[in-house]
Amino acid sequence: MPNLWNGEENNEKTMKKLTLLLFSLLVSAVIFAQQSNLTDVVYLKNGSILRGIIIEQIPNESIKLQTADNNILVYKTDEIERITKEPVSNRNNFRNNDERKGFIGLSLGAAFPVGDASGMPIGATLSLIDFGYLFTQNIGIAGKWFGNGHAENGVSFGVGGLMAGFLASTPISPKANFEGRGLIGLGTFTAEYAGESASSDAYFAYDLGVGVRINTSNKVSLLINADYIGMSDYNSVNVTFGVAFRLR
């Protein structure tokens, strides 16, 4: 059976492009999330200061403000001194009244072999289970059931595993969290060529990953992740995008 490990392809340029792309995506996600961390602040001429979201504004006539407790307030323009946008100052505002502490979903993307495996072709990766649950606002557990696939010249090579471990999360806006995880578990190799297939014994596997989770609603999150996968002499950087259901 031909050996994919001996390929001449060098993924260094691809990895540089990947790093730049991933950095751009993460920065964009953080900027998007930070925009959600601004609230409308209305200063009235009588000295009152009101915070919320302006849901309707009629020029030179009135505004309609929705407060954090969902009250709707209406003020005439001649009652208002000024209107600004300011950062949410209270960290507790990161907590949603319908707070959900976990998520479970699936992700897919590209697997970029690195290190001793850098001669292999770029492949695809799929996480059928992408799981996390926070016991506090910042600390929890995570799990993943994943598979990487590479193919070249009629040879198919697969890596799959089930891992669990530590999850660290920090809110960067009311709608988004920046997260890191360290997972360990077991995985196997599979290969197929000319109708013949083979699989390996189980190997120790690990995953070091970072990502941004954007909560688009009370029930759905979008996932943007980058993971460094290691198992025996196989290593890859996986860049994935996914969708998850939020758990209470």
Of residues 47 and 244, more confidence is placed in: 244
pLDDT digits (tens, 9 = 90+) for 124-170: 999 999 999 999 878 899 999 999 999 988 889 999 999 999 999 98
CB burial of residue 106 (10 Å; 0-12, 13-18, 19+): middle
Task: Calculate the CA 47 to chain-centre distance.
Answer: 42
The predicted structure's pLDDT at residue 116: 84
Tokens of 206: 């690990």
pLDDT digits (tens, 9 = 90+) for 41-59: 999 988 888 888 888 889 8
CATH entry, 38-87, from 3.40.50.1220, 2.30.30.100, 3.40.1310.30, 3.40.50.300 = 2.30.30.100
Domain ranges for the chain, please list them.
38-87, 96-247
Q: What is the rounded radius of gyration, in angstroms, for the C-alpha atoms of the chain? A: 24
The predicted structure's pLDDT at residue 23: 60
How sure is the predictor about 29, in pLDDT bands with cuts at 50, 70 and 90?
A: low
Of residues 161 and 36, more confidence is placed in: 161
Overall CATH class of domain 96-247: mainly beta
Q: How far apart are CA 222 and CA 116, in angstroms?
A: 32
Q: How far apart are CA 114 and CA 124, in angstroms?
A: 14
Alpha-carbon dihedral 13, 128, 27, 90, rounded to 10 degrees: -160
Are the beta carbons of 132 and 181 closer than 8 angstroms? yes
Residues 6+ apart with CB under 8 A from 89: none
Tokens of 85: 């946008």
Alpha carbon distance, N-terminus to C-terminus of the chain: 49
Tokens of 46: 């009588």
Q: How far apart are CA 91 and CA 142, in angstroms?
A: 24
The predicted structure's pLDDT at residue 28: 62
The predicted structure's pLDDT at residue 227: 94
pLDDT digits (tens, 9 = 90+) for 184-240: 999 999 999 888 889 899 999 999 999 999 988 889 999 999 999 999 889 999 999
Nearest C-alpha neighbor of 175 from the set 68, 39, 20, 35? 35
Of residues 242 and 11, more confidence is placed in: 242
Residue position matching structure tokens 């505004």: 63
In 3-state terms, what secondary structure has residue 118? coil
